[in-house]
């Protein structure tokens, strides 16, 4: 059963990059807005007469913290009616109609394997939520690898925050990789996300030759990246049940 439509008030907006904004939305009729990290909300925007052409879904980028505020991170799509409305018409104090939380792209009940969070663009949103939730609530876990594919340095969402987190938490590994930048020594990964998780998995398998290396793969981003990742992960010897995905577009 779908949750009912609710009203949220935009209480803060920040530019994250030249084409990406962060929106903080408060659900004033609730004391706390509860959700599972990885879930999404659907906005009903006044951009079309047909209902289903007004709906836009976005992963929640914040994590459950006991308040009635959640955050969305949204990239401007050229010619996209939804994002153009959000970027040009919505301001602090605007009200948005939304439904949620929804979705089953969530963490396992107990985290007994390494987690690979593989994403491109705003696909980092659910993984930021999951990572903070695990670390701030001291959820028992293994290693977390957040592998974030970007084109240019300026596309790297939440970069300083995630670097700080990596420096503070030995089990968390933040690995941005840039497809349209030149390598600068060993500090910058260039290329695509696929080489990164393949290298890590091959090293882990060498450490444990007697059995399979256990891991969960969570994929979030554009279809081409996800399709290629699924093929490569299966080729590494993992099974379909080890792969979880959230598609954009």
132 and 219 assigned to the same domain: yes
121 and 97 assigned to the same domain: no
70 and 147 assigned to the same domain: no
119 and 56 assigned to the same domain: no
95 and 169 assigned to the same domain: no
pLDDT digits (tens, 9 = 90+) for 58-76: 999 999 999 999 999 999 9
- What is the model's pLDDT at position 30? 95
Domain end position, chosen among 44, 71, 102: 102
52 and 171 assigned to the same domain: no
Mean pLDDT of the chain, nearest integer: 91
Domain end position, chosen among 73, 102, 131: 102
Residue 127 lies in a domain: yes
- What is the model's pLDDT at position 135? 95
142 and 200 assigned to the same domain: yes
42 and 65 assigned to the same domain: yes
Domain assignment of residue 91, given as a range: 5-102
Q: Predicted confidence band at 249 (pLDDT cuts at 50, 70, 90)?
A: low
pLDDT digits (tens, 9 = 90+) for 25-48: 999 999 999 999 999 999 999 999
User: In this prediction, what percent of the chain has a pLDDT beyond 70?
Assistant: 91
pLDDT digits (tens, 9 = 90+) for 174-203: 999 886 666 665 456 767 789 999 999 988
- What is the model's pLDDT at position 156? 80
- What is the model's pLDDT at position 191? 72
Lowest mean pLDDT among 1-5, 53-57, 107-111, 160-164: 1-5
Residue 107 lies in a domain: no
Q: Evaluate if residue 54 carries a pLDDT over 90.
A: yes
For the record, the structure tokens of 216 come out as 């969960």
Domain harbouring 65, CATH code: 2.40.30.10
The total domain count for the chain is: 2
- What is the model's pLDDT at position 207? 62
Domain harbouring 131, CATH code: 3.40.50.80
């Amino acid at each position: 059963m779908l949750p009912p439509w609710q009203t949220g008030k935009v209480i803060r907006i920040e530019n994250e990059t030249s084409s990406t904004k962060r929106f903080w939305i408060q659900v004033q009729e609730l004391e706390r807005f509860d959700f599972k990290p990885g879930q999404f909300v659907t906005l009903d925007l006044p951009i079309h007469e047909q209902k289903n052409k007004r709906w836009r879904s976005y992963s929640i980028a914040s994590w459950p913290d006991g308040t009635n505020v959640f955050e969305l991170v949204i990239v401007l799509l050229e010619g996209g009616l939804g994002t153009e409305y959000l970027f040009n018409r919505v301001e602090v104090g605007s009200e948005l109609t939304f439904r949620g939380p929804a979705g089953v792209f969530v963490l396992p009940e107990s985290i007994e394997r390494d987690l690979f969070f593989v994403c491109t663009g705003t696909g980092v949103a659910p993984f930021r939520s999951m990572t903070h939730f695990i670390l701030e609530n001291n959820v028992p876990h293994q290693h977390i690898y957040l592998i974030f594919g970007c084109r240019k340095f300026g596309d790297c969402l939440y970069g300083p925050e995630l670097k700080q987190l990596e420096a503070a938490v030995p089990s968390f590994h933040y690995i941005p990789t840039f497809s349209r930048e030149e390598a600068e020594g060993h500090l910058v990964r260039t290329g695509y996300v696929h080489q990164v998780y393949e290298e890590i998995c091959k090293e882990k398998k060498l450490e444990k030759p007697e059995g399979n290396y256990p891991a969960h793969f969570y994929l979030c981003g554009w279809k081409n990246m996800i399709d290629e990742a699924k093929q490569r992960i299966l080729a590494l010897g993992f099974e379909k049940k080890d792969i979880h995905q959230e598609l954009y577009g």
